[in-house]
Structure 1
Amino acid sequence: MRAAVYHGPGDVRVEEVPDPELEAPTDAIVRITHTAVCGSDLWFYRGESDYPAGGRVGHEPMGVVEAVGDDVTSLEPGDRVLSPFSISCGECEFCRKGLYTSCTADESWGGENTGAQGEKVRAPHADGTLVRVPDRYADDEDVLESLLPLTDVMCTGHHAAVSAGVDAGDTAIVVGDGAVGLCGVLAASRLGAERVVAMGHHEDRLEIAREFGATDVIAARGEDAVEEAIELTDGGANHVLECVGAESSMETAAEVARPGGTVGYVGVPQGVETTGFLDTMFRKNVGLEGGVAPVRKYVDDLMADVLQGTLDPSPVFTKTVDLDGVPDGYAAMDERDAVKVMVKLDD
């Protein structure tokens, strides 16, 4: 089979690799039909985080089950499935309380395991990890493209909104106009926020934010952006979604939070020095909630909304490639030519 493989900063190649095989009775083999390039993939692509050379890449799989181990009870060959970016057994202490990203199985897509940007994957703990798409939607391309963001960015944006405490009638500020930030806007709107302020630097992305329910957008940078957000919200918001993970975005989130408010942070932290924004939050009694999104906790509820036509995060995909186009997809996202890249394989 063919799959995308990381060889170093800026160097992702599509190569022949061994087909995955069932290794445990709880495994399944999934033929990938849809996947994506994630903003968090850019950290290793740019050489800003470690990743094993020769490791397969991708963590947002959707496809069709080809084989299941003897102990798999909820799936059978032919089922259409998607998977959260983290693998979960569904049975340990942490899975039972909805903290699937802390599963004691401690496995993930990519690296030494099979990456999702390829023709097939072995899915460990298939019953706990894979989410079945109802048969009536299994071949509906529009629905599948709307469901694909639930593997990561939609659920991650939702986690930011939930962590920030967004509820009906609230005002929320979303820091970041990448796919997660845009999904954060959509999530805050879905939860009933009366006012959603989207902060970013790209007019085309802020247009998507408006489509997703942003009532105000801010394209300024630095202190100008902070001042505009505080003025728009008459002193800041009680609910702030931090969806980038950079030091500057964390500082912005802290500054635009209203005293006594909460920042829901889901951006993967890179190069963040804590002194500045924590000092701001300390002085304002601002809470900090969030972390790695437990996608499996949210995916069923969000899927129900997608299937009934009330939720559609698919506009975050602004470029589509085939498997051979994965290297170009990384480059497009790295150069900010695409918000998020969808990868479609032959079905």
Structure 2
Amino acid sequence: MRAAIYNGPGDITVEEVPRPTIDAPTDAIVRVTHTAICGSDLWFYRGESDREAGSRVGHEPMGIVEEVGEAVTSVEPGDRVFAPFLISCGYCEFCRKGLHTSCVNGDSWGGENGGCQGEYIRATHADGTLVRVPDRHADDEDTLRSVLPLTDVLATGHHAAVSAGVGEGDTCIVVGDGAVGLCGVLAARRLGAERIVAMGHHEDRLSVAEQFGATETVAARGEEAVERATELTYGGANHVLECVGAASAMDTAIEVCRPGGTVGYVGVPHGVDEDGLDVFGLFRGNRTLRGGVAPVRAYAEELLADVLQGTLDPAPIFTKTVDLDGVPEGYRAMDERNAIKVLVTL
């Protein structure tokens, strides 16, 4: 099989690699038909996080089940499925409480599991991980394009909104105009927010935020952005979604959060250890910080239902489509901010 390989910062190639096989009764082999390049992939692509050279990449799979182990009961060959960015067993203490990202039997999609930016993957806990798309939607390309973000960014934006406590009639601020931030706007609207202020640096992305339900946007930087957002919300919002992960974005989120409010954070933290977290800002304003790695599997069914009935559509985040050979080009496009999110079709 062929798969995208990380060789070092700025260097992605597509190479022949061993195809995964059934190793355990709980395994399933999936032929990937759709996947994506994630903003979090840019951390290793830019050399800002560690990753082993020669490793397979990708964590947002959708495809057709090819083979299942004898213990698998939830899917069968021929089913259309998608999966979260982490594998989970579905039955341990943490899976039972909806915290699938802390699964004691969990696994990633790298290594011998295949890498999702490739032709085949092995789900080592198929029943706890794979989500079946109903047959009536299984070949509708427009619908599948809208379903794919459930593997990561849509559910991650939803986790930010849930963690921030967004509810009916609320005012919230979304920090970040990447795919997760835009999906955070969608999620806040779905949860009933009345006012949604989207903060970012790119006018084209902020126009997508408006399409998704943002009532106001802020394109300024630094303190000017903080002042504008707090002015729009008469002193800050009770519900703030931090969807970037950089230390500066976390500081902004805390600054625009109203005293007594909550910051829901889902951005993978980078630079926070070096630059420090504004704990005093949290303490002084009795602000709550909630969030972390999104338990995508816990949200899959409820979000899928809305996507399938047409009331939730994150597909506009895909602004470039490539085939497997085009994955290196897709990384370059996202790195250079020429694409919000790249869809890969196989």
- Return the alpha-carbon distance in structure 1 between the equivalents of residues 51 and 189 of structure 2: 36
Conserved? CA contact 2:145–2:315, under 8 Å: yes
Conserved? CA contact 2:247–2:276, under 8 Å: no
- Return the alpha-carbon distance in structure 1 between the equivalents of residues 99 and 112 of structure 2: 23
Conserved? CA contact 1:241–1:264, under 8 Å: yes
Q: CA deviation at 1:282?
A: 1.1
Q: CA deviation at 1:276?
A: 4.5
Q: Which amino acid aligns with 1:92?
A: C
Q: CA deviation at 1:106?
A: 3.0
Q: Which residue of 2 aligns with 1:308?
A: 309
Conserved? CA contact 1:5–1:15, under 8 Å: yes
Q: CA deviation at 1:192?
A: 0.4
Q: Which amino acid aligns with 1:285?
A: N
Q: Which residue of 2 aligns with 1:60?
A: 60
User: In the comparison of the two structures, how many residue pairs are matched?
Assistant: 345
Conserved? CA contact 2:20–2:113, under 8 Å: no
Conserved? CA contact 2:87–2:106, under 8 Å: yes
Q: Which residue of 1 aligns with 2:327?
A: 326
Q: Which residue of 2 aligns with 1:191?
A: 191
Q: Which residue of 2 aligns with 1:145?
A: 145
List per-residue Cα deviations over 1:71-121 (Å, max 9, x = no partner): 001111000000000100001000000000000013111245321000111
* Structure 2 residue 84 is matched with structure 1 residue 89: no
Conserved? CA contact 2:12–2:328, under 8 Å: yes
Normalised by the size of structure 1, how large is the TM-score? 0.98
Q: Which residue of 2 aligns with 1:202?
A: 202
Q: Which residue of 2 aligns with 1:74?
A: 74
Q: Which residue of 2 aligns with 1:338?
A: 339
* Structure 2 residue 268 is matched with structure 1 residue 257: no
List per-residue Cα deviations over 1:216-268 (Å, max 9, x = no partner): 00000000000000000000000000000001000000000000000000000
Q: Which residue of 2 aligns with 1:11?
A: 11
Identical-residue share of aligned pairs (%): 75
SS state of the match for residue 298, structure 1? Answer: helix
Q: What are the within-5 Å matches in structure 2 for residues 93-104 of structure 1?
A: 93-104=93-104
Q: Which residue of 1 aligns with 2:318?
A: 317
SS state of the match for residue 5, structure 1? Answer: strand
Q: Which amino acid aligns with 1:21?
A: T
Conserved? CA contact 2:113–2:123, under 8 Å: no
- Return the alpha-carbon distance in structure 2 between the equivalents of residues 160 and 302 of structure 1: 14
Normalised by the size of structure 2, how large is the TM-score? 0.99
Alignment RMSD (CA, Å): 0.8
Gaps of 5+ in 2: none
- Return the alpha-carbon distance in structure 2 between the equivalents of residues 272 and 340 of structure 1: 25
List per-residue Cα deviations over 1:121-177 (Å, max 9, x = no partner): 111100000000000000000100000000000000000000000000000000000
Q: What are the within-5 Å matches in structure 2 for residues 18-29 of structure 1?
A: 18-29=18-29
List per-residue Cα deviations over 1:33-63 (Å, max 9, x = no partner): 0000000000111111111111100000000
Conserved? CA contact 2:19–2:114, under 8 Å: no
1:227/1:115 CA distance change after superposition, 3 Å: same
* Structure 2 residue 289 is matched with structure 1 residue 291: no
- Return the alpha-carbon distance in structure 2 between the equivalents of residues 275 and 202 of structure 1: 26
